[in-house]
Chains A and B, each alone.
Chain A
């Protein structure tokens, strides 16, 4: 039954779910979808972006495979999400190129690391021997300007490309529904995003693994934020205070970087090990977690071994990992963050509209079936 086209397949399951309705109350996906008499492609991308793949509705479904209807909501929505990462990625050629493998992004990161090590290392080795110190400072090896170039250019690329995707997703998914976003709506959605309010919110007494995933995801996200803050503060130290790295262990950039890096590593390992159901048939981008852990791990190692001889190698590897990570970021799973944020804003706008009686012209809840 499932169609090869991800939109058709998602439409098929969401239509079945509306006819059934047993999973209402499970999550946002069902609570919102039953207001739709039928689904456009944009409606489906929107609903798909709201699914956390917790698997609860698959366990609940009397039509799940091996039933002939083969209803697999998380699988179908996941396949559609993967599809949206491909069709909204900008520029499309890069997306197509990297999308050839589910490890495309990771391969890019590894290649840039290799490049970075093989180009920078020979270039910097003479400088190390001339400085004579066992533990040279970072900027003795790679100048500050080069570092900013290696990290900053890919980051800018990443930002511009991701903004392109986000803008077109916004236009398709939310622009019509979120006409007058007021402050309360935006702040409320932001709170839900930052707390993962809907992630495993289901209190249906199942295993606690959804909750653990939430904590690991927190760890990952706030770990990244902490690393980001570390970089920001280091930049301020450098420019405003004229303090040059490496900073002492008990300085703000080092603490934030170390805690953040540790949290990212913990989060990635946790996320990778708590996924208790898989969708073997779906080609999913597998690069984000390993790439993130490469960045975090090389960063942490660099911190630990910054006074040893391997520092130079680690520095070039870390720089390469950061550059590669940023280059690959707008292609693949990373987009789930902004896309889900946009979908959540639309969900909040729809809920706000419905909270105002009389309910908007959608399907009423009288169409609930039981025998």
Chain B
């Protein structure tokens, strides 16, 4: 396994994930009630508005039912709901300790299985062999190496950390996006597979954008920088104009609505103004909101347009500066049920793909919570099995 990141940041966005979506026929210690495979598949199809195939939806839904057993066989645990630490959830299960704990367990299982992981190694290019032996060029700690293999699984995620490519759809707005996860998801391998003739799946508009605190680091801010509760306040652009109003309750779906609203606002910067009272009833946020009563904070961090808005002038406001945070892009490769890319002209045997790089086969437009890791686990298992079989054949 060739990983671009250093060991401490291994596993890409999965380090930041928390849950996965899984079908199950009866209540278990991780999920409530039941979520039939057919309902999962229907959810996928209706969320994608018919733009994905029934066959792929079925594969993902059916495979998801095996997740708990597979995880526990590899030492990764799901969080039981009995402790009362997670909300009532029928469709998603939570990783105990979050995505990084999941990864720690899976890397340990990989090591036990004799799988080597080379860190700090970016794959620069793929060379497709005619005689079924492919090669990759790897920049390993600034040393260029070539590694040959009969089969390759591309599981390098989306291209959300590649601002140049984001610009193709978002224009210069992309310059102001904050990347919530891995800085290594540059889409380099995806781009090479496209140019080698792999069919795309998805749409450049398909990406997960949520409001994050403008003080977040450019990469890897993860879950704690996401700003919730936009419906409890007023969202203004930098000139003090209200951006969007009249949203009902605070549902996860709205995170993505708001992400897009902010991405479309001038300078991709918005300000959530709330009444100070909200502080008492919710967890303190990672970045404390700016108290407009404190003049110093107000002048340096909040533009004049906001300071002069009525709600701030009355002096009861706290302000959180917002930017669009991109979790992942969904445009990727079209694959068949055995996780093999579909090629436009010449087919290339021995190439497989899994995870976010093939997300476009499973969701379009609307993202369903827990789908990201489920695609990774279910299709990762299929791709791994097929790649191994191909290599041994």
B99 touches A371 (CB 8 A): no
A370 touches B370 (CB 8 A): yes
A-B residue pair count with CB separations less than 8 angstroms: 127
A25 touches B96 (CB 8 A): yes
State whether A19 and B286 are in contact (beta carbons under 8 Å apart), knowing that A25-B83, A370-B92 are contacts in the complex: yes
Residue among A24, A38, A62, A67 having the largest count of chain B Cβ atoms under 10 Å: A62
Of residues 332 through 371 on chain A, the ones whose CB sits less than 8 Å from some CB of chain B are: 363, 365-371
Of residues 66 through 102 on chain A, the ones whose CB sits less than 8 Å from some CB of chain B are: 66-69
CB-contact partner of B87 in A25, A37, A62, A366, under 8 A: A366
State whether A205 and B97 are in contact (beta carbons under 8 Å apart), knowing that A22-B223, A38-B284, A370-B369 are contacts in the complex: no
CB-contact partner of B280 in A37, A205, A367, under 8 A: A37
Cα distance, A60 to B15, chains bound together (Å):
9
Question: B171: shortest Cβ distance to chain A, in Å?
Answer: 25
Question: B10: shortest Cβ distance to chain A, in Å?
Answer: 11
Cα distance, A38 to B75, chains bound together (Å):
35
Against B, the Cβ 8 Å flags (1 = close, 0 = not) of A1-37 are 0000000000000011011101111100011001001
Interface size class of B (residues with CB under 8 A): 35 or more
Chain B residues, Cβ within 8 Å of A16: 224, 286
Across the two chains, which residue of chain A brings its CB closest to B83?
A25
Question: A315: shortest Cβ distance to chain B, in Å?
Answer: 52
Residue among B19, B208, B280, B282 having the largest count of chain A Cβ atoms under 10 Å: B282
Cα distance, A62 to B255, chains bound together (Å):
22
B75 touches A205 (CB 8 A): yes
B220 within 8 A of A: yes
CB-contact partner of A22 in B9, B98, B226, B327, under 8 A: B98
CB-contact partner of B283 in A22, A37, A60, under 8 A: A37
Cα distance, A15 to B286, chains bound together (Å):
6
Chain B residues, Cβ within 8 Å of A371: 17-18, 208, 210, 223, 226, 252, 255, 327, 369, 372
Question: B232: shortest Cβ distance to chain A, in Å?
Answer: 12
B279 within 8 A of A: yes
State whether A62 and B99 are in contact (beta carbons under 8 Å apart), knowing that A22-B223, A367-B228 are contacts in the complex: yes
Residue among A19, A56, A365 having the largest count of chain B Cβ atoms under 10 Å: A19
B101 touches A68 (CB 8 A): no
A239 within 8 A of B: no
Cα distance, A205 to B86, chains bound together (Å):
20
CB-contact partner of B15 in A62, A66, A205, A367, under 8 A: A62
B285 touches A60 (CB 8 A): no
Question: B82: shortest Cβ distance to chain A, in Å?
Answer: 10
B84 within 8 A of A: yes
Cα distance, A367 to B226, chains bound together (Å):
12
B266 within 8 A of A: no
Across the two chains, which residue of chain A brings its CB closest to B105?
A205
CB-contact partner of A20 in B83, B96, B223, under 8 A: B223
B85 within 8 A of A: yes
Cα distance, A25 to B96, chains bound together (Å):
7
B283 touches A204 (CB 8 A): no
Chain A residues, Cβ within 8 Å of B105: 205
A59 within 8 A of B: yes
B275 within 8 A of A: no
Against B, the Cβ 8 Å flags (1 = close, 0 = not) of A26-65 are 1000110010011000000000000000001101111100
Interface size class of A (residues with CB under 8 A): 35 or more
A37 touches B282 (CB 8 A): yes
State whether A22 and B286 are in contact (beta carbons under 8 Å apart), knowing that A37-B279, A371-B17 are contacts in the complex: no
A23 touches B98 (CB 8 A): yes
State whether A62 and B96 are in contact (beta carbons under 8 Å apart), knowing that A18-B284, A19-B224, A205-B105 are contacts in the complex: no
CB-contact partner of A367 in B99, B210, B283, B327, under 8 A: B283
Question: B193: shortest Cβ distance to chain A, in Å?
Answer: 26
Residue among B8, B255, B370 having the largest count of chain A Cβ atoms under 10 Å: B8
Across the two chains, which residue of chain A brings its CB closest to B8?
A66
Of residues 202 through 216 on chain B, the ones whose CB sits less than 8 Å from some CB of chain A are: 208, 210
Across the two chains, which residue of chain B brings its CB closest to A12?
B286
Against A, the Cβ 8 Å flags (1 = close, 0 = not) of B270-304 are 00000000011111111000000000000000000
B217 within 8 A of A: yes
A60 touches B100 (CB 8 A): yes
Question: A63: shortest Cβ distance to chain B, in Å?
Answer: 7
Question: B228: shortest Cβ distance to chain A, in Å?
Answer: 7
Cα distance, A257 to B345, chains bound together (Å):
84
Cα distance, A20 to B17, chains bound together (Å):
11
Cα distance, A365 to B95, chains bound together (Å):
17
B19 touches A370 (CB 8 A): yes
Across the two chains, which residue of chain A brings its CB closest to B210?
A371
Across the two chains, which residue of chain A brings its CB closest to B72?
A205
Across the two chains, which residue of chain A brings its CB closest to B87?
A368
Question: A254: shortest Cβ distance to chain B, in Å?
Answer: 47
B137 within 8 A of A: no
Cα distance, A371 to B210, chains bound together (Å):
10
Against B, the Cβ 8 Å flags (1 = close, 0 = not) of A309-335 are 000000000000000000000000000
State whether A367 and B282 are in contact (beta carbons under 8 Å apart), knowing that A31-B85, A56-B97 are contacts in the complex: yes
Question: A276: shortest Cβ distance to chain B, in Å?
Answer: 14
Across the two chains, which residue of chain B brings its CB closest to A17?
B224
A369 touches B85 (CB 8 A): no
Chain B residues, Cβ within 8 Å of A37: 279-284
State whether A67 and B220 are in contact (beta carbons under 8 Å apart), knowing that A38-B284, A367-B282 are contacts in the complex: yes
Chain A residues, Cβ within 8 Å of B84: 365
Cα distance, A18 to B252, chains bound together (Å):
18
Closest 3 interchain pairs by CB?
A22-B98, A60-B97, A24-B85
10 more CB-based (< 8 A) A-B contacts, given A62-B15, A363-B281 = A15-B283, A19-B283, A22-B99, A23-B98, A34-B85, A59-B101, A60-B97, A69-B224, A205-B75, A370-B223
What are 21 pairs between A and B in contact, CB < 8 Å? A15-B283, A19-B283, A19-B284, A22-B18, A22-B101, A22-B223, A23-B97, A24-B83, A25-B79, A25-B85, A25-B96, A26-B97, A37-B283, A60-B97, A60-B101, A69-B224, A203-B77, A368-B87, A370-B370, A371-B208, A371-B372
